[in-house]
Amino acid sequence: MTPALGQEKVCTIDDIYSLPEGSRAELIDGRIYDMAPPNTRHQRILSFLHLETGNYIRARNGECEVFPAPFGVFLFADDSQYVEPDISVVCDKHKLNEHGCSGAPDWIIEIVSPGSRRMDYYTKLSLYRSANVREYWIVDPMKQTVLVYDMEHDSAPAIYSFADKIKANIYDDLWIDFRKLHL
């Protein structure tokens, strides 16, 4: 059924599943947002953060798992909000299934692209806060900044540069040294 003139169609997870193979999109508040392919700089940052986090977890035989995009996250039980964060760290194995993560990951990292700026800084911040994500990082390559939200402790956001060592708040001793990132 087509919506009446002036009304937007409310999309569902079925619309995401019916996209052509290889398409990447997110479902937020009944709208589908297409995702542009990432550039090389974005992928270097993604690889760096994935390796640093994964190596830390593996070295300590940790319970958490780190998943780089594309990895499906269904933030709420009704599947109304579907996102593909750049990095998702999931510590509760019961949230994992063949489709991805059902519920909020413990730590989400988004790497800002020119087309995702508003989404990462505003829309997803609000969405992740309401889903009870414990920690959210916004990595901005253009500004060379990292904005860290420790939502578990309701702390004010901390702003870092790519010249800093940044502590992951969900761990006691994980520090990521952005000086080692080679762009």
Using the structure block, give the residue that is written with the tokens 């193979």.
Answer: 21
| Higher-confidence position of 1 and 29 | 29
**Tally of CB atoms within 10 A around 183:** 10
CA distance 67 to 113: 19
CA distance 61 to 153: 25
pTM: predicted TM-score of the whole model, two decimal places: 0.94
Phi, psi of 157 (to 5 degrees): -65, 145
Which one-letter DSSP state was computed for residue 95?
A: G
Q: What pLDDT does residue 7 have?
A: 67
User: Six-digit token pair at 69?
Assistant: 């995009």
Give the SS3 label for residue 89: strand
pLDDT digits (tens, 9 = 90+) for 84-112: 999 999 999 999 999 999 999 999 999 99
pLDDT digits (tens, 9 = 90+) for 122-164: 999 999 999 999 999 999 999 999 999 999 999 899 999 999 9
Give the SS3 label for residue 103: coil
Average pLDDT, integer, range 172-182: 96
Using the structure block, give the residue that is written with the tokens 């939200």.
Answer: 149
pLDDT digits (tens, 9 = 90+) for 34-82: 998 999 999 999 999 999 999 999 999 999 999 999 999 999 999 999 9
Contact 88, 102 (CB under 8 A): no
Angle in degrees, CA 100, 104, 79, rounded to 5 = 65
Contact 49, 87 (CB under 8 A): yes
